[in-house]
């Protein structure tokens, strides 16, 4: 087993109101088999032993499902591996003596809570603005009785895989949430069950995205490049098309 020495530059910030800065750490004995978050666990264990505050960072599932690990690593959301969340990144990606810069996603709509943790409740409010899917309760038909073409089902599922990590916002030069919002809208708008509230939902979610302070999409496609589940920017085109149809 190969052990490495890794130099870290980690963003430390006490709260939203307090200015932050990068702090340097040297970590010895890092195994190539560690995940990136396990490496941060070791750093925090060392800091606690020294009587210092550990680095705050978000995580939950550590399986690339929940989207909590939304940090920026060496200037790239989730790090250098394509379609890989930060929690799935392993230290074998790096070499002995490497310097790794770790910071939170930068966006006005994602205020920093502490260190690498940001408030992503703006995403929740965009989803809430979408409302609900109406059904006739008490006599709901069997789901398999609703005909959905296979390609439509596959497309809807692809959009539904968005984990809401915010990597798209971090990567976008405009801090746009268009990929996230587009995926959530396209998922529902492509299915028969999503048609009754389609126009209302589209307008409400797009308008809420603007209210939250996210920037406009300029088709850089940086969002698609860093998305850990590979959401396509075709969702943005679908969102724009549906929004124009809805308002006119």
Instruction: State the average pLDDT over residues 201-226.
Output: 96
Measured distance CA(110)–CA(17) in Å, rounded: 13
pLDDT at residue 146, as a whole number: 81
User: Is residue 136 predicted with pLDDT exceeding 80?
Assistant: no
pLDDT at residue 86, as a whole number: 97
**How buried is 240 (Cβ within 10 angstroms: 0-12 exposed, 13-18 middle, 19+ buried)?**
middle
User: Is residue 66 predicted with pLDDT exceeding 90?
Assistant: yes
Q: Can you list the domains of the chain with their CATH numbers?
A: 3-103 (3.10.20.30), 120-247 (1.10.1060.10)
Look up the pTM and report it.
Answer: 0.92
pLDDT at residue 1, as a whole number: 64
Strand partners for 77: 72
Cα torsion for 232, 237, 240, 127, to the nearest 10°? Answer: -10
Instruction: State the average pLDDT over residues 58-79.
Output: 95
The two tokens of residue 201 are: 């939902």
Instruction: State the average pLDDT over residues 101-121.
Output: 97
pLDDT digits (tens, 9 = 90+) for 184-200: 999 999 998 899 999 99
Measured distance CA(135)–CA(79) in Å, rounded: 42
Instruction: State the average pLDDT over residues 104-129.
Output: 97
User: Is residue 26 predicted with pLDDT exceeding 90?
Assistant: yes
Of 187, 185, 188, 168, nearest to 177 (Cα)?
A: 168
Residue with tokens 């004995």: 29
Instruction: State the average pLDDT over residues 210-228.
Output: 96
User: Is residue 227 predicted with pLDDT exceeding 70?
Assistant: yes
Measured distance CA(57)–CA(1) in Å, rounded: 27
pLDDT digits (tens, 9 = 90+) for 137-188: 677 667 677 888 999 999 999 999 999 999 999 999 999 999 999 999 999 9
Instruction: State the average pLDDT over residues 198-208.
Output: 97
Instruction: State the average pLDDT over residues 204-217.
Output: 97
């Amino acid at each position: 087993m190969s052990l490495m020495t890794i130099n870290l530059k980690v963003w430390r910030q006490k709260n939203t109101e307090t200015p932050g800065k990068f702090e340097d750490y040297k970590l010895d004995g890092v195994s190539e088999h560690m995940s990136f978050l396990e490496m941060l666990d070791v750093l925090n264990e060392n800091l606690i032993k020294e009587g210092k505050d550990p680095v705050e960072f978000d995580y939950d599932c550590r399986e690339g499902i929940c989207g909590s690990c939304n940090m920026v690593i060496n200037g790239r959301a989730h790090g250098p591996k394509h379609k890989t969340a930060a929690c799935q990144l392993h230290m074998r990606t790096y070499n002995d003596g490497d310097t790794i810069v770790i910071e939170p996603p930068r966006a006005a709509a994602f205020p920093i809570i502490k260190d690498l943790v940001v408030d992503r409740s703006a995403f929740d409010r965009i989803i809430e603005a979408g409302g609900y899917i109406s059904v006739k309760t008490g006599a709901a038909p069997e789901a398999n009785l609703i005909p959905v073409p296979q390609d439509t089902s596959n497309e809807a599922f692809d959009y539904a895989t968005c984990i809401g990590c915010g990597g798209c916002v971090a990567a976008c030069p405009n801090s746009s949430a268009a990929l996230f919002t587009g995926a959530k809208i396209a998922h529902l708008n492509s299915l028969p069950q999503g048609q009754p509230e389609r126009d209302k939902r589209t307008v409400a979610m797009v308008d809420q995205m603007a209210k939250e302070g996210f920037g406009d999409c300029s088709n850089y496609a940086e969002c698609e490049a860093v998305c850990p589940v590979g959401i396509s920017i075709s969702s943005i085109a679908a969102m724009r098309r549906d929004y124009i149809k809805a308002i006119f």
